[in-house]
Amino acid sequence: MKRMRWLIALVAVFSLFAAACGSDGDSSSDGGGDGGDTTDDTSSSGDDGDDGAMEEGGEVATDFGVDAENKVIRVGVNGDLTGPFAALVNEIVTGQEVYWEVFNENGGYKGWTVEMETLDSGYATDVGIQNYETLAQESEEGVLMITENTGSPITAAIAEDAADDNMLVIPLSWASLWPDPEFGATILEKQATYCVESINGVEWLSTQVDDPKLAILGRPGEYGEDGSAGAKIAAEELGIEIVYDGTGAVAGDDRTGVIAELTGSGANIVWTTLTPGELLDIFGNAVSQGFEATWSGNTPSFSYPVMMPSDFAAEFDKYYFQSAFNAPWGAPGTEVIVEEMTARRPDLNISDGYTVGWIEGIMAETLITAAIDAGDMTRENMVALATSGLEVDFMGLSAPQSWPNDYNDALVRSTWIFDVDAEAFNIIPMGEATPENPGSSGLIPLEQDYIGTVAADYVFDGPCIEPSS
């Protein structure tokens, strides 16, 4: 027993550490601002000895992340492969991997092929910043552009460096900050923002009940605040009473307080901007206490691989509608994805996540091929092309998009609404799917490219949230 005193102290220190770790704050690092390398020398250098590449009589200027000799373009992924959003992100990354496999096997573009460098951030901002610095290095070991960067906190932390480095970044985050040229100069927001998604989602929810009374549940940080901000805009514009505003209230491992406030609020519609685990906890406990309302929330509050195996699948079917940015597995427009994914990854389960990876690939390919055609594949020219009004056609997977230097013009205002169908849920390996049994994520499109009255006309002053410092 003699050494118990230090052990007690050790336990206490560990407990406090655990409490701090478990508080779930989306603390964006403030260390990313000026930590990057000096990047003023990234100007086009097409006349350097080995920077140019001859192609069908044309020379392509390159600088970083491009092996001109072998005509290989490196793109990077800074993804959460092991953290809280790993379930979704792994599938998205796989989708993008297959996209480039198909691209390369079809001969690439004018002989150029794409190689993907994938790093795991675990959704830790400090690791994400380190990964960014690895991907942004100014050599062939770096990448031409980052085709996926998971999470609002990490994207916010690298945004300034990315602008300095002329590094295009496709965020796996729909924060309303990214279309702002002042903040996300090289961050290519894809699809709608969380804020717009919330505006559409709340408007749609309000049409499902009489006399809507809204409860808002959001976690701290850009993601939660952005989604909640959109819900409030919709409520204000539509005259919906907000009976519980839980913006930033969902933190920590015990959510009894939030559940108490929600169930006692009298809400009949609930908008959530949470992680799947948080939603499962709050939804499950609220339903178990007899709380009845119509629920929906920002992507990825609801994750079918997490929710459907739970004991609340039937309740999600009854009460929850998923908001989304693009088509689910098997919906019209996804035929090519289904075919290629099934042929190349037959052992993997069907997933809606592959579509997102495919969309990232389409964005990157559009930019890369335009740069090749322009004869300038420097990072600087990639940024110039992206902001030139170049439009990306997602072939029905999502609304077409361009990135002009105007906040309102750059916004995509359409989202999708899915019904949750627990009976239809049937995740099977892609190779086992048949026309009679194609498998399903249990998400059935109710509204495709839905634009509510508020989202259609709303003029934004800028992002719905301030970036956290």
Query: Which CB, 316 or 394, lies closer to another protein?
Result: 316
Considering the rule CB under 8 A, would residue 207 count as an interface residue with another protein? Answer: no
Query: Which CB, 5 or 459, lies closer to another protein?
Result: 5
Query: Which CB, 369 or 426, lies closer to another protein?
Result: 426
Query: Which CB, 282 or 377, lies closer to another protein?
Result: 282
Query: Within a 10 A sphere around the Cβ of 334, how many other Cβ atoms?
Result: 21
- Smallest distance, another protein to C-beta of residue 12, A: 6
- The one among 241, 253, 409, 423 contacting another protein by CB under 8 A: 253
Phi, psi of 7 (to 5 degrees): -65, -40
- Is residue 289 within 8 Å of 234, Cβ to Cβ? no
- The one among 104, 349, 388, 402 contacting another protein by CB under 8 A: 349
Query: Which CB, 208 or 288, lies closer to another protein?
Result: 288
Kindly give the interhelix angle for 125-135 and 152-164, rounded to the nearest 10 degrees.
30
Phi, psi of 147 (to 5 degrees): -90, -5
Considering the rule CB under 8 A, would residue 27 count as an interface residue with another protein? Answer: no
Site string (414-443) toward another protein, x via CB under 8 A? -------------x----------------
- The one among 36, 76, 181, 276 contacting another protein by CB under 8 A: 276
- Smallest distance, another protein to C-beta of residue 13, A: 10
- Smallest distance, another protein to C-beta of residue 2, A: 6
- Smallest distance, another protein to C-beta of residue 282, A: 9
Region near another protein per CB under 8 A, out of 7-15, 40-48, 127-135, 191-199: 7-15
Structure tokens at 388: 């030139």
Region near another protein per CB under 8 A, out of 42-50, 174-182, 257-265, 294-302: 257-265
Query: Which CB, 381 or 440, lies closer to another protein?
Result: 440
Query: Which CB, 267 or 287, lies closer to another protein?
Result: 287
HEC states along the chain?
Answer: CCCHHHHHHHHHHHHHHHHHHCCCCCCCCCCCCCCCCCCCCCCCCCCCCCCCEEECCEEEEECCCEECCCCEEEEEEEECCCCCCHHHHHHHHHHHHHHHHHHHHCCCECCEEEEEEEEECCCCHHHHHHHHHHHCCCCCCCCCEEEEEECHHHHHHHHHHHHHCCCEEEEECCCCCCCCCCCCCCECCCCCCHHHHHHHHHHHHHCCCCCCEEEEEECCCHHHHHHHHHHHHHHHHHCCEEEEEECCCCCCCCCHHHHHHHHCCCCCEEEEECCHHHHHHHHHHHHHCCCCCEEEECCCCCCHHHHCCCCCHHHHHHHEEEEECCCCCCCCCCHHHHHHHHHHCCCCECCCHHHHHHHHHHHHHHHHHHHHHHCEECHHHHHHHHCCCCCECCCCCCCCECCCCCHHHHCCCCEEEEEECCCCCECCEHHHCCCCCCCECCEEEEEEEECCHHHHHCCCCCCCCCCCC
Give the interface size with another protein as a residue count (CB under 8 A): 63
Region near another protein per CB under 8 A, out of 107-115, 244-252, 447-455, 460-468: 244-252
Q: What's the rounded Cα separation, in Å, for the pair 265 and 35?
A: 46
- The one among 97, 315, 340, 352 contacting another protein by CB under 8 A: 315
- The one among 3, 38, 40, 459 contacting another protein by CB under 8 A: 3
Considering the rule CB under 8 A, would residue 226 count as an interface residue with another protein? Answer: no
Query: Which CB, 23 or 208, lies closer to another protein?
Result: 23
Considering the rule CB under 8 A, would residue 277 count as an interface residue with another protein? Answer: yes
Region near another protein per CB under 8 A, out of 134-142, 157-165, 169-177, 280-288: 280-288
Enumerate residues 112-131 that contact another protein by CB under 8 A. none
Considering the rule CB under 8 A, would residue 459 count as an interface residue with another protein? Answer: no
Query: Which CB, 261 or 380, lies closer to another protein?
Result: 261
Region near another protein per CB under 8 A, out of 133-141, 142-150, 256-264, 441-449: 256-264
The site for another protein (CB under 8 A) is made up of 1-8, 10-12, 14-16, 18-19, 21-24, 82, 84, 86-87, 90-91, 220, 248-261, 275-277, 280-281, 284-285, 287-290, 305-312, 315, 349, 427
